[in-house]
Amino acid sequence: MTAQATSGTAPDRPVSTWTGWGQWLALATMTVDHLTRYVFPSAWELGWAGSSIGRIAFPLFAAMVAWHGLFNTRNPLRYARRILIIGIAAQLPYMMMPRASDAFILNVCFTLALGLAWGAWLRQLLARHRSGSLGSAWLGAAIAATLAIWYLLGGWVEYGHRGLLLVPLFMLAMHHLHAAGESLVERLLAVSLAAPVLIVAGLMNSSDMAKSFTVATCLAVLWLAAGAHRTTPGVPLAMPRRLWLTWYPGHFALIALWLWASGALG
């Protein structure tokens, strides 16, 4: 769900070696979440794992999507389309998972892809406004239109309205944290723009444990954006690209097959 990590050291591009670790951690924590939710018997009482370890996955995926969309790709919309393709491939097995509600929900890849497209488009609008090619009235109308679309789409995607906000907010915070100079004003602005990420992350879950893991994950990534990315060592074993692209739909297909074989799907 992320573009190929790069480790360029150009001043305008941060080092992305941390995403190599992030890929392994995101897949592992997501898999733990789904296994405890759909596969392991409730008698094992492993719900705590989904409410702790499992809450790392989504903010980490969102952070990597925002990072690569911001720093490592020239075409964020094409990158969003690639994420969308994974989501389309995963939607059928995703819909086979047992749920408390029968409401139709699009899987998390749609949340990430739409969030990335939204963040990229907002950046383009602001760039045009700064260049003088887009007036303030048109900028306000365009932003209002995107908020209306966000409101309409929020009920159809996994993690809802708050999930759609996370990638754009990450992009905003990462940009300012990375570009902040030495002045106190710049640093205070960067820190203030990181706060909405943490607020949304805290609102995404109900239990204190889940909130803690989600907020801590976001805080760690913001710390990397602020400069800690330079000290991250390379991952000993890079994630194979095919594994990265196929794990999300593939693991849902395997879980659906297991549930069908065990009679859980009826």
d(CA 256, CA 227): 42
Q: What is the pTM of this model?
A: 0.92
End-to-end CA distance of the chain: 32
Per-residue pLDDT of the chain (266 residues; tens, 9 = 90+): 544 434 333 346 899 999 999 999 999 999 999 999 999 878 788 888 988 999 999 999 999 999 999 999 999 999 999 999 999 999 999 999 988 677 899 999 999 999 999 999 999 999 999 999 999 999 999 999 999 999 999 999 999 999 999 999 999 999 999 988 778 888 898 899 999 999 999 999 889 999 999 999 999 999 999 999 999 999 999 999 999 999 999 999 999 999 998 887 76
User: What Rg do the C-alpha atoms of the chain give, in angstroms?
Assistant: 19
Residue 237's CB is within 10 A of a number of other CB atoms, namely 7
pLDDT, tens digit, 9 for 90 and up, residues 207-250: 999 999 999 999 999 999 999 999 999 999 999 999 999 999 99
**Which of helix, strand or coil describes residue 36?**
helix
d(CA 168, CA 181): 22
